[in-house]
């Protein structure tokens, strides 16, 4: 059988162990540098099932980032039984996420901590950033 020309574009093992022990498996992770031949995109999809502090201290990036919060019920993604709190800016302005939301973090914007304060039912969390790999400043 001839070698595939395009098979390199299919990641058949997208699951990985997350860096937070509170995040249950499976976690889908696409690293643009490793999995996307250097693409300027990295995506992590996690199921959040318990309260914990995901981002422990304020930091920034040299790329834009998007944090997506969604209910985990595919029949009703607006069914959001959780509350998260994120701080934005040098001032640490706090914002409560208590329903589906997309948080855009422009490059250079200080953000964190990110606390999942209350989880009554699992939620889906996506972390998308426009860089081939994650770098914190």
CA distances from 66 to 5, 8, 88, 102, 129 (A): 32, 27, 13, 7, 6
- Residue-level pLDDT at 131: 82
Q: What is the mean pLDDT of residues 31-54?
A: 89
Q: What is the mean pLDDT of residues 89-93?
A: 96
Q: What is the mean pLDDT of residues 118-132?
A: 92
d(Cα 47, Cα 116) in Å, to the nearest integer?
12
Question: Which domains does the chain possess?
Answer: 15-129 (2.60.120.10)
- Per-residue pLDDT for 1 more than 60? no
Q: How far is CA 100 from the centre of its chain?
A: 14
């Amino acid at each position: 059988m001839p070698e595939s020309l395009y098979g390199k574009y299919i990641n058949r093992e997208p699951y990985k162990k997350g860096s937070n022990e509170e995040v249950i498996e499976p976690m889908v992770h696409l690293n643009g540098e490793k999995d996307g031949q250097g693409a300027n995109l990295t995506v992590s999809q996690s199921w959040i099932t318990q309260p914990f502090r995901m981002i422990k201290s304020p930091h920034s990036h040299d790329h834009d980032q998007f944090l997506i919060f969604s209910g985990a019920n595919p029949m009703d993604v607006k069914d959001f039984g959780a509350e998260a709190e994120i701080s934005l800016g040098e001032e640490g302005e706090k914002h409560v996420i208590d329903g589906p939301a997309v948080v855009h973090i422009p490059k250079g914007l200080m953000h964190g901590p990110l606390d999942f304060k209350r989880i009554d039912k699992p939620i889906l969390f996506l972390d998308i950033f426009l860089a081939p790999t994650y770098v914190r400043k």
